[in-house]
Amino acid sequence: MINIFQPTLGKEELKAVEEVFESNWIGKGPKTEEFEKQLSERIGCSPDNVTTTTCCTEGIFQILDYLEIGEGDEVIIPSISFIGIGNAILSRGAKVVFCDVDTRTLNVTSYDINEKITPRTKAVILIHYGGLPCEMDSIVRLCEQNNIKLIEDNACSPFSEFNKQNTGTIGDFGVWSFDAMKILVAGDCGLIYCKNKDDMKAIKERCYLGLTSGSGMSNPIDKKWWEFDVSYPGRRSIVNDITSAIGLEQLKKVDGFINKRYEYHEMYNQGLIDLEWLQTPPSSFNKSSYYMYWIQFEDEETRNGLAKHLKENEIYTTFRYYPLHWVEHYKEIGGEWELPNTELVAKTTLCLPLHQGLTNDEVNKVIEKIRNFK
Ligand SMILES: *Cc1c(COP(=O)(O)O)cnc(C)c1O
């Protein structure tokens, strides 16, 4: 089976893990600090603007807790969003407000968000679909004008750029994912970005039990080192040095991964562009991390038929992200959602295999099997 997503891990990662074993310190330590430092350099901010955490979903939970989003508050998200985002909003007792997306980019626009703003709107959480950046200028302006916090779910756009600025660092908060299905993988890991360093300091403490000082050996010896205080009853949402050691190796390779994905993206474009019964993804002046390659059709039968045809030929495809307003649990919560673009694209879009582990032959096979479908 040709997988849709796949990590690329090698002996470099294994060797880095071996070194951590030998150091006798596998918990959060120097590797994690170095990983945060290098990530911050890579995305153009200070280490004081970021922290690693267990996963991207936890990052969103932490941010919404910190913002004290709660009952009576509304948070706007595209219905085409990752389930963990909706769950984080519901867990706070706040209302999820779904907005529509553009039919070609599957991204939210300032128009879509504006339609849903009320005096109760506290935050917007957007995603850069498949790595393609949203039109951020107008969205940032709209959120500022309405005093709404802007949170970027940057899980699938780790090194994308809008107007030369890294996505995830454009809004007030951003979250990244390095889980097993992403471009840079570390097993499980996430990154939180806060524009405001005081916010970051507070969230960083909350990610480690709310502890306000170091502990044990990291305390100065003129103090009784077993004493401590907390600023908040925080959870324990930190990553260990095994994870960070893998992440550091992946960081060295990630530009190569993205270049390879770009090559395959272009191969698909060239191989499919003349087919009148489908549309290839829109192009952009902005830098994408090429997380997904999606094609679109006139109707649902063609999409479903092609997906089945490809699966019979050992090629796995999918649609991301199944609209949350169609998920049973979210339906029960209620709300009348008029999301015509979302419903159209959810029926007529298909994501093809795209990862750096593919071979030219495999990409050509996918193209050929699509071409001979009709
Ligand atoms: C994978 C993903 C997440 C969740 O990331 P985790 O690290 O697995 O919690 C969130 N949003 C999007 C768009 C994703 O693709």
Burial 224-233 (b: 16+ CB within 10 A, else e): eeeeeeeeee
* Ligand 1 binding pocket includes 185 (Cβ within 6 Å): no
| C-alpha 139, offset from chain centre | 18
Q: Over its length of 374 residues, how does the chain's per-residue pLDDT go in tens digits?
A: 999 999 999 999 999 999 999 999 999 999 999 999 999 999 999 999 999 999 999 999 999 999 999 999 999 999 999 999 999 999 999 999 999 999 999 999 999 999 999 999 999 999 999 999 999 999 999 999 999 999 999 999 999 999 999 999 999 999 999 999 999 999 999 999 999 999 999 999 999 999 987 656 666 667 788 888 999 999 999 999 999 999 999 999 999 999 999 999 999 999 999 999 999 999 999 999 999 999 999 999 999 999 999 999 999 999 999 999 999 999 988 788 999 999 999 999 999 999 999 999 999 999 999 999 98
Tell me, yes or no, if the pTM score tops 0.75: yes
* Ligand 1 binding pocket includes 356 (Cβ within 6 Å): no
Contact between residue 356 and residue 311 where contact means Cβ atoms under 8 Å apart: no
The whole-number pLDDT of residue 80 equals: 98
The whole-number pLDDT of residue 214 equals: 65
Give CA–CA dist 76/122, Å, rounded: 8
193 CB burial (10 A radius; 0-12, 13-18, 19+): buried
Rg over alpha carbons for the chain, rounded to the nearest Å, is 21
The whole-number pLDDT of residue 223 equals: 73
* Ligand 1 binding pocket includes 59 (Cβ within 6 Å): no
* Number of alpha carbons in the 13 Å side-chain half-sphere of residue 211: 15
| C-alpha 245 to ligand 1 mean position (Å) | 21
Give CA–CA dist 282/280, Å, rounded: 7
| C-alpha 82 to ligand 1 mean position (Å) | 6
* Ligand 1 binding pocket includes 152 (Cβ within 6 Å): no
The whole-number pLDDT of residue 217 equals: 64
| C-alpha 231, offset from chain centre | 29
The structure tokens listed for 245 are: 């050691």
| C-alpha 216 to ligand 1 mean position (Å) | 34
Give CA–CA dist 73/125, Å, rounded: 14
Helices (H), the chain: 11-23, 30-43, 56-66, 83-91, 110-114, 136-145, 197-206, 241-272, 300-312, 328-333, 340-348, 360-371
The whole-number pLDDT of residue 334 equals: 79
Partner residues linked to 169 by β-bridges: none
Q: Of the residues 151, 177, 351, which should be mutated to test ligand 1's pocket, given the most ligand atoms within 8 Å of the CB? A: 177
Q: Which atom of ligand 1 is nearest the CA belonging to 59?
A: 9
